[in-house]
Amino acid sequence: MAAARVRSGGRPTLEEVAARAGVGRGTASRVINGSPRVSAQTREAVEAAVAELGYVPNRAARALAGNRTDAIALVVPESETRFFAEPYFSDIVRGVGAALADTEMQLLLTLAGNDRERRRLASYLTAHRVDGVLLVSVHADDPLPDLLEQLGMPSVISGRRHAAETLPSVDSDNFEGARAAVDHFISRGRRSIATITGRLDVYGAQRRLDGYRKAIASAGLDPDERLIAPADFSEEGGARAMRELLVRRPDVDAVFAASDVMAAGARQVLRESGRRIPDDVALIGFDDSAVARHMDPPLTSVRQPIEEMGRTMTRVLLQEIANRSEDRAVERPRIVLPTELVVRESS
């Protein structure tokens, strides 16, 4: 049995560390897990043994014995990875990675396709015993969040599904971001300010529209519904919406698009209609993506602190995991991170 299996290193076990340090397995375990119930002298001996042997605990054994995994899953709706191929994805990951850096936690990346798969996913996640789940880009009717909640799996959601989100959530301030964009238009003397919205079943898109409305109203401008063109976050959708706007209100002199990509579509249409940006029509996007920086003219855009969202989500999740067995009545954190208007030449 012993030498039968050709293992690369023959990793040392806790037992071996304990033997080397001249202590029992339990004591060695205590040292490794930072329990305070160990004398300084013993601790040193064990630590020395760990160093000498290059011991690294076996995760599987830990997970099995401890009924936890020291791993969290980042669930990404696969259908959308392309959609948010923009910095979003990688920035979130960086944030999560940063927050996990000093932890023993591992990050599991899970791509979930359609709803059926997501349903299966819930059972997988609990069976594979992930300690917690990070949910990114969730639709209002996604079944997964509720499933996870029922299963008592600690979870944090990016954005929200609706105003009454029950899960802990970390969102950016879509409302204020939109408002800042429109206020910016107003302060520069624009009066016929339109908006191209994202899919309004996405809470964030709704909030951006709310912010737009609020800014218009606060400024005492005429809230013309013809200045609101719904789209779907796509470039083509943005172009289509822009065309509609030009028909309905040819005098439009500013457009706030709820995403940079839609702004790119709008820009195209504005160009084709012979309008100059920003001279004739000012344009602002949302996301502050690479598209914004490289657009011609460079696009003013609302920046979301995406990496920070990833970091915060992770911190909140770790907290939730730590509180797991605690009072179920602890209130769920709902964090809203500030957005920032990055002014470039399009406005």
Partner DNA sequence: ACTCCCCTTGGGAGCGCTCCCAAGCCTACG
Partner DNA sequence: CGTAGGCTTGGGAGCGCTCCCAAGGGGAGT
* Contact footprint for DNA (CB under 7 A): 1, 11, 13-15, 22-27, 29-30, 32-33, 36-39, 41-42, 55, 57-58, 61-62, 64-67
Q: Which is nearer to DNA, 10 or 113 (CB)?
A: 10
Our finding on whether 1 is near its own copies (CB under 8 A) is no
Q: Describe the strand order of the beta sheet including 228-230 as a list of residue ranges.
A: 228-230, 193-197, 254-257, 282-287, 300-303, 340-342
Of 141, 74, 128, nearest in space to 317 by CA: 74
Q: How many CB atoms lie within 10 A of CB 200?
A: 15
Cα 338 from Cα 167, distance rounded (Å): 20
The residue among 289 and 339 lying less far from its own copies, judged by its C-beta, is 289
* Selected binder of its own copies within 27, 29, 110, 347 (CB under 8 A): 110
Does 140 participate in binding its own copies (rule CB under 8 A)? Answer: no
Q: How far is the CB of 131 from DNA (least distance, A)?
A: 13
Stretch that binds its own copies, among 37-45, 58-66, 212-220, 313-321 (CB under 8 A): 58-66
In whole angstroms, the minimum distance from the beta carbon of 58 to DNA comes to 4
Q: Where are the beta strands (DSSP E) in the chain?
A: 71-77, 106-112, 132-135, 155-158, 169-172, 193-197, 228-230, 254-257, 282-287, 300-303, 334-337, 340-342
In this structure, what token pair is assigned to residue 301? 């855009």
Using CB under 8 A, which of 48, 51, 85, 330 touches its own copies? 85
Question: Candidates 80-88, 218-226, 246-254, 337-345 — which segment interacts with its own copies by CB under 8 A?
Answer: 80-88
Distance in Å, CB of 116 to DNA, minimum: 24
Query: Which among 87, 86, 90, 17 has a CA at the least distance from the CA of 57?
Result: 17
Is 53 near its own copies (CB under 8 A)?
no
Nearer to DNA, 63 or 107 (CB): 63
Q: What angle do CA 115, 143, 157 make, to 5 degrees?
A: 110
Q: How far apart are CA 311 and CA 322, in angstroms?
A: 17
CA angle 166/118/133 to nearest 5° reads 50
Binding of its own copies by 90 (CB under 8 A): yes
Give every CB contact of residue 160 below 8 A, 6+ residues apart in sequence. 169, 171, 203, 204, 334
Q: Choose among DNA, its own copies, none what residue 41 binds, the Cβ cut-off being 5 to 8 Å by kind.
A: DNA
Buried/exposed 42-67: b ≥16 CB within 10 Å, e otherwise: bbebbeebbeebebebeeeebbeeee
Helix (H, G, I), strand (E, B) or coil at 337: strand
- Which residue number, 33 or 79, has a Cβ lying nearer to DNA? 33
Selection from DNA, its own copies, none that 26 binds (CB < 5 to 8 A by kind) is DNA
Residue number, 50 or 284, with CB nearest to DNA: 50
Binding segment (CB under 8 A) for its own copies, from list 14-22, 83-91, 172-180, 337-345? 83-91
| Residue 141 CB-density burial (10 A; 0-12 exposed, 13-18 middle, 19+ buried) | exposed
With respect to DNA, which residue has the nearer C-beta, 37 or 82? 37
**85 touches which of its own copies, DNA, none (CB within 5 to 8 A by kind)?**
its own copies
Enumerate binding residues for its own copies (CB under 8 A): 5-9, 11, 54, 56-64, 67, 69, 74, 78, 81-82, 84-87, 89-91, 93-94, 97, 101, 106-111, 123-124, 126-129, 151-153, 264, 289-291, 294-296, 325
